[in-house]
Structure 1
Amino acid sequence: MQKILVRARRQVFSEMVGNNPSIFQGEGYDFIELREYMPGDDIRHIDWNITAKMQKPFIKIFREERELNVVLVSILNGSVHFGSKKFKQDSIADISALLSFSTLKNGDLLSSYIFTDEMISNTKPSKKLHQIQKNVSDILDFDAINKKVDFKVVADTLYKRLKRKSLIIIMGDFFEIPNFKLLAKKHEVISIIVRDTLEENPPQMGFASLVDPESGATLEGDFNASSVKAYAKKVKMHDHNLYETFRKDQVRFTKIYTHSQESVELRRLFEGR
């Protein structure tokens, strides 16, 4: 755990954000209106849909809020207990540490939740550094084996508990498709899909027995070229439906693999690349 904290703190306070105040730069703002683009405007605020319709660039104008309320949500069902380089659960802890340090560096409020098919734990909004250590420790120490996920519980609980408009960042592997439509109308919701390449494109293993870490069920079969290809196709179709649901519900999202540099992927997400 200490390695995760030290590495995340170093990346946030030096390498990761450089001279920028936070990777959340631009997130703590309320949208006011649209106007035509002028030289010197931040191109990240260009509204590409309106630009395409009007055939000239328009940007979104924002009013700065004094303080952003950042809520980190870790979905720790059984399937996060998997990874070729490292477990997805460890990647979620890494991402949580990076986001937490960046939040506090920017002077924003930080709170966190852990969910399975119920709310496991939560912390109140705070600006204290010890909260980061507790959150990372809770993620790493949690026994996710045989735990299931219920995204309705996640969405309903957050909708009821969070009174103030917040930036909610939900981390999990999302092998089930959630309905965050109502939650995203009240808050800004970002989903971070944490995956391992082996579960999307598994190798040919011949006859083998696999144990589902979520249900505990054993699956036996011939994992040959044909079956592996069919499985990969199903995962790809699932992800296509997942992405379409997120776009329809106005939920921003990205995918981060266990072998990726989390800090690089997070900067791409929040800088709108």
Structure 2
Amino acid sequence: MKVVNSELKALQLKARQQVYTLLSGHNLSKLYAEGYDFAELREYQRGDDIRKINWTITAKLGKPYIKELHTNRELSVVVSTFMDGSLYFGTENKKQKKLTEVATILGYATQFNGDLFTGISYTQTEINVTPPTKQLYHIESFSNLLFETSLLDTKIDMNISIEDLFSQLYRPSLLFVISDFLEPVDLSLLAQKHEVIAIIIRNKEEETLQKLGEVTLKNPQNKAKLDTYFGKKSAKKYHTRLKAHDTRLIEHFSQNNIRYVKIFTEDEAVKKLLSLFV
């Protein structure tokens, strides 16, 4: 029998206790916008009403698709994670642990509400998918996977992974996309079919990085090293680029009606998640 890491076990226990207390009475279905209709997205067939053609998706995929609205009877919750070496910042993988915690809380909350949970994890070399489930076993197996995956010296192409995610999801879902979002990303295709919520995992030091002096910088996505002087000018340039990137990211979310929340490694994740119910 596989022994569960004690730190992971403590993380799961805390997540479950928080869900069963703080999230009690906050059904995930409330995250859907009022009056939101679920849509079935499928290829156009002869005889279909051409007024139902979704031109945005048709343009992206190069063939006609139609979007049909109908009422949902059971909520499908999908937690998708995108992980690579960028989750290592500083000397520890705190971002990976916080990502695991967030995904675990969402999994327990889904099970607590009696909804269907699907976990999909993307790394440079693997795609791992849990079956749609209401069982804690599959949720905790997904949590174990996220916690234990080795990510150093790996880099994911997030947009290619998003295209795969779109093809994986046949049923319109409440879709959580969890990443540090430090690379350009396009979630518009997913937002056409699903209710998408982006969860940004960051380390505060990434956004408050100061003068370091003479330093050896290591790229956690590959084995590159750089001996350099990181002074005030370097820090200012870094912050300017990060701010511009995040501004474009938030604009993208706004244009596609994607809600988002940023969770730092020091934050109480469940409190930040509760803000999505407001």
TM-score range, shorter chain: 0.7 to 0.9
- Give the superposition deviation at 1:116: 2.5
| CA root-mean-square deviation | 2.0
Match of 1:94 in 2: 101
Task: Provide the residue aligned with 1:25 in structure 2.
Answer: 30
Q: Report how far residue 121 of structure 1 moved.
A: 0.9
Consecutive aligned runs of 4 or more in structure 1 exceeding 3 Å deviation: 83-86
- Matched residue, 1:71: 78
Map of 2:199 onto structure 1 = 192
Residue 268 of structure 2 corresponds to residue 258 of structure 1: no
| 1:69 partner letter | S
The answer for the alignment partner of 2:17 in structure 1 is 10
Q: Contact between 1:28 and 1:64, CA under 8 Å: does it hold in 2?
A: no
1:85, distance to aligned residue in structure 2 (A): 8.1
Counterpart Cα distance in 2 of 1:138 and 1:255: 23
Q: Within 2, Cα distance between the matches of 1:266 and 1:239?
A: 20
- Is contact 1:21–1:105 with CA below 8 Å preserved after alignment? no
Partner secondary structure for residue 131 of structure 2? strand
Go from structure 1 to structure 2 and tell me whether the alpha carbon gap of 1:267 and 1:83 turns closer, same or farther (over 3 Å shift). farther
Check conservation: 2:86, 2:220, Cα contact below 8 A. yes
For residues 173 and 144 of structure 2, the distance between their equivalents in structure 1, rounded to whole angstroms, comes to 24
Indicate how the Cα distance of structure 1 residues 149 and 30 shifts in structure 2: closer, same or farther if over 3 A, else same: farther
Tell me if 1:145 matches 2:172.
no
The 3-state SS of whatever aligns with 1:7 is helix
Cα distance in 2 for partners of 1:110, 1:265 equals 20
Q: Deviations over 1:6-52 (max 9, x none)?
A: 101100001x224x1434434397526xxxxxxxxxxxxxxxxxxxx
CA–CA separation in structure 1 for the residues paired with 2:161 and 2:35: 25
Whole-angstrom CA distance in 2 between matches of 1:208 and 1:67: 53
Taking structure 1 as reference, are residues 169 and 77 closer, same or farther at Cα in structure 2, changes over 3 Å only?
same
What SS is found at the alignment partner of 2:271?
helix
Residue 211 of structure 2 is aligned to residue 182 of structure 1: no
- Per-residue deviation, 1:215: 2.4
Paired residues of 1:11 and 1:17 also in contact (CA < 8 A): yes
| Contact 1:75/1:114, CA 8 A, preserved across alignment | yes
2:216 aligns to what SS in structure 1? strand
**Normalising by the residue count of structure 2, what TM-score does the alignment of the two structures yield?**
0.80
The alignment-based identity, stated in percent, is 30
User: How many residue pairs get matched?
Assistant: 239
Q: Report the equivalent of 1:239.
A: 246
- Out of 98, 102, 107, the residue aligned to residue 114 of structure 2 is 107
Structure 1 unmatched ranges of 5 or more: 33-62
Q: Cα distance, 1:160 vs. partner?
A: 1.1
Q: Deviation digits for residues 138-159 of structure 1, max 9, x if unmatched?
A: 0011011111121222221121
Which of 145, 167, 172 lines up with 1:165 in the alignment?
172
Q: Which amino acid aligns with 1:221?
A: T
- Do 1:118 and 1:154's aligned partners in 2 also have CA atoms closer than 8 Å? no
Cα distance between partner residues in 1 of 2:247 and 2:9? 37
Does residue 154 of structure 1 match 2:157? no
User: After superposition, where does 1:203-214 map in structure 2 within 5 Å?
Assistant: 203-214=210-221
What one-letter code is carried by the residue in structure 2 that aligns with 1:3? A
Distance 1:126 1:190, change over 3 A: same
Superposition TM-score, scaled by structure 1 size: 0.82
- Secondary structure, in 3 states, of the residue corresponding to 1:126? coil
Q: CA deviation at 1:183?
A: 1.3
Q: What displacement does 1:241 show?
A: 0.9
Secondary structure (helix, strand or coil) at the match of 1:13 reads helix
Deviation of 1:126 (Å): 0.3
Are 2:233 and 1:226 aligned?
A: yes
For residue 17 of structure 1, what is the amino acid of its counterpart?
A: L
